[in-house]
Amino acid sequence: MEAPRPSAETLRRARLYWEQARDDLKAAAQSLKAGAGLESGYLSAQAASNALSTVCCLHGRFQLPTHSPARMAGLCEELDARFAALGDACAGLEEVQQHSPFAPPEPAAALALARRALEQGGAVCEEVRAYLREHRGRFFAP
């Protein structure tokens, strides 16, 4: 038996998370092009957190461990097994968060880290997009 459809307010909040995730991913790509590697990495991690927050919100979970994409993916995995595939991507995004903006890595290393983070954040967003597409009748179309 399928769970009841979320309230209009829950759908509105989830859509805001989703839109913010897309905006964050676009900003990460722009930051990478501008050579701001660490900023790009942070934005990619934020995009993943917002995308995963979309799924959690749609299922009534509002107190989230937004500091940890891996823990958020674990919450999403409880709802749908497809999110188990995000373990490596989320671990990579958590690695980005370990870098201090006050002691950034070498520029070349920061750009390499940002490229990986952009791919990983994109993978998380794609998985959430696939989930939303599959359930667009119950939630919304991405």
Q: Which two tokens stand for residue 132?
A: 């939303």
In a domain, 43, yes or no: yes
C-alpha distances in Å from residue 115, one per residue of 28, 35, 52: 9, 11, 20
- Answer yes or no: pTM beyond 0.85: yes
The band of 41, judged by pLDDT with boundaries at 50, 70 and 90, is very high
In a domain, 142, yes or no: no
In a domain, 2, yes or no: no
Of the candidates 30, 57, 34, 54, which has an alpha carbon nearest to the alpha carbon of residue 44? 30
pLDDT at residue number 91: 94
In a domain, 3, yes or no: no
- CA–CA separation, 106 and 37 (whole Å): 10
> For the chain, how many structural domains are there in total?
1
Q: What's the CATH code of the domain at 94? A: 1.20.120.330
pLDDT at residue number 2: 60
Q: Do 47 and 121 touch, CB atoms closer than 8 A? A: yes
pLDDT tens figures, 44-100: 999 999 999 999 999 988 888 888 999 999 999 999 999 999 999 999 999 998 988
- CA–CA separation, 47 and 60 (whole Å): 20
Longest dimension (CA), the chain: 53
What average pLDDT does the structure give for the chain? 92
In a domain, 68, yes or no: yes
Place of tokens 């749908």: 80
In a domain, 141, yes or no: no
Alpha helix positions (H), 34-106: 37-58, 69-79, 87-97
